[in-house]
């Protein structure tokens, strides 16, 4: 997983769950090639964060260029960002109970949504939120797919003073030398994980 963090311009306003388009001459295979990625940071954050899975030529080139810059101390490649786009995940505010379901790397917009949800409801600034309980279910093939997300969930859990969020993670594949104890994360000590 590639983690990108940008200083957020003061003029860049977005809602949780929205996405941006990224392009770069350093790793584009075609002129002005853009790719869409979900914002992982909450709207309250001073930074813009992206988690990108390297799955094709463009993202693999991005990964190698970033790693080369890190290894040599040279400047990072120039990246252009356009957006935000989409309506985001705003519907949870209309219901007393919400169930959010993510799969694999598709969980990225929920990093933004869950952090925003907890920050807004605990701060008392979001008066239109009817939500009293949110169940977050994440289905992923292996524990490797969500190691980056564990820190996000722990941070959200620490911020959740109203016990609004309950998290369940389902790992669908096992491999040899797999230790299930190292991959479980439960939002409450009284909850079980399937």
Q: For residue 14, what is the DSSP state?
A: -
pTM beyond 0.85: no
What distance, in Å, lies between the first and last C-alpha atoms of the chain? 25
Q: Look at residues 34, 66, 85 and tell me which one is the last residue of a structural domain.
A: 85
Residues 79 and 111 in one domain: no
Q: Is residue 187 part of a domain?
A: no
Q: Is residue 69 part of a domain?
A: yes
pLDDT in tens, 95-126: 889 898 888 778 888 888 888 877 777 776 65
DSSP helix/strand/coil, 98: strand
Q: Is residue 152 part of a domain?
A: yes
Residues 155 and 104 in one domain: yes
Q: Kindly report the number of other CB atoms within 10 A of residue 184's CB atom.
A: 12
List the CATH number of the domain containing 62. 2.40.30.10
Q: Is residue 190 part of a domain?
A: no
Residue range(s) defining the domain that contains residue 73: 2-85
Q: Kindly report the number of other CB atoms within 10 A of residue 58's CB atom.
A: 20
Q: What DSSP assignment string belongs to 17-63?
A: T-EEEEE-TTT-SSTT--EEEE--S-TT-SEEEEEE---SHHHHHHH
pLDDT in tens, 45-65: 999 999 888 888 989 999 999
Tokens encoding 137: 């279910």
- Asked if 19 and 105 count as a contact pair (C-beta separation under 8 A), the reply is no
């Amino acid at each position: 997983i590639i983690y990108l963090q940008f200083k957020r311009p003061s003029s860049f306003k977005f809602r949780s769950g929205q996405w941006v388009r990224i392009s770069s001459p350093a790793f584009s295979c075609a002129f002005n090639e853009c790719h869409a990625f979900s914002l992982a940071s909450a709207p309250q954050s001073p930074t813009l964060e992206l988690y990108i899975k390297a799955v094709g030529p463009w993202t693999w080139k991005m990964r190698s260029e970033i790693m080369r810059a890190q290894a040599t101390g040279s400047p990072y490649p120039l990246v252009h960002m356009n957006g935000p786009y989409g309506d985001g995940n705003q519907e949870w505010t209309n219901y007393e109970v919400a169930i959010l379901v993510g799969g694999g790397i598709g969980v990225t917009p929920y990093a933004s949504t869950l952090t925003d949800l907890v920050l807004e409801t605990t701060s008392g600034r979001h008066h239109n939120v009817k939500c009293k309980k949110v169940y977050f279910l994440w289905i992923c093939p292996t524990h490797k797919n969500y190691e980056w997300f564990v820190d996000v969930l722990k941070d959200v859990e620490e911020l959740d003073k109203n016990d609004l969020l309950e998290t369940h993670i389902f790992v669908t594949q096992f491999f040899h030398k797999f230790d299930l104890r190292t991959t479980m994360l439960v939002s409450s000590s009284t909850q079980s994980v399937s």
